[in-house]
Amino acid sequence: MNTPDARLDLRRRQRLGMVEAVWGEHKSADQIIAILETFAAAGELGFVTRVDPPKAARVCEALPEVELHPDARCLTLGSLPSVPPPPAEVVVLSGGSSDRTVVAEAALALRCHGIGVDPVMDVGVAGLHRLLDQLPRLETARILIACAGMEGALPTVLAGLVSQPVIGVPVSVGYGISAGGRTALEGMLASCAPGLTVVNIDNGYGAAMAALRILKGFDSAESL
């Protein structure tokens, strides 16, 4: 089952354990509506990322059952799975409040898979005490996702303080030379913290799926 413009991966959940995400930024409202209707007909959860407010309004008007997640700039269609009680398996940290959209996208992507998330906001290294104060809160998490713009130092510092896997997300926030997140990306890729994983600029969804794969690896190892 496919729309005229899209070949949907309706078996991704069975094959990879992941809900297919649809990139909404460069699709029209009509395309998104058709795709979501296809997901609904197949009994699959619909998840669309990067949808601006006017386009989201048109989709929600056509499909009232669609849920808008404004902080994440995402849409979902279908019931989200229940999330286990705290403590959350994944903590998503932000360097500043301007990183909120990327944090929300990552959190929602994990929520679509029944993974609990604890967001820890505004703990950038410009005030290092803010991060150090939160270290006890991070101890129960299995994976940490760190979103940061400017020079992108937060994931490197975090990976030097904790033993869990850390996934860095460079964010397109910053003055001049920050260059839409390129400086943060290159800084994270050049990190001296061993084992730091880095995804592309503003890619909260990609970080969430990396965390999901790691969690599945943990679960497989524990079942042996």
**Residues 12-77, CATH architecture:** 2-Layer Sandwich (3.30)
Domain boundaries defined on the chain: 12-77, 90-223
For residue 1, the model assigns a pLDDT of 46
Residue 219: pLDDT over 90:
no
For the chain, give the DSSP string: --BTTB---TTHHHHHS-PPEEE-TTS-HHHHHHHHHHHHHTT--EEEES--HHHHHHHHHH-TTPEEETTTTEEEESPPPP-PPSSPSEEEEESSGGGHHHHHHHHHHHHTTT--EEEE-S--GGGHHHHHHHHHHHTT-SEEEEEE-TT--HHHHHHTT-SS-EEEEE-S--SGGGGGGHHHHHHHHT--STT-EE--TT-HHHHHHHHHHHHHHHHHHHH-
For residue 2, the model assigns a pLDDT of 52
**Which tops the pLDDT comparison, 12 or 5?**
12
pLDDT in tens, 42-57: 889 999 999 999 999 9
Judge whether 75 and 65 are in contact, CB under 8 Å.
no
| pTM of structure | 0.91
Mean pLDDT of the chain: 92
Average pLDDT rounded to a whole number, residues 147-168: 95
The topology under which CATH files domain 90-223 is: Rossmann fold (3.40.50)
pLDDT in tens, 69-125: 999 999 999 999 998 898 999 999 999 888 999 999 999 999 999 999 999 999 999
Task: Kindly give, in sequence order, each residue whose CB lies less than 8 Å from that of residue 135, ignoring residues fewer than 6 positions away.
Answer: 161, 162
Same fold, 12-77 and 90-223: no
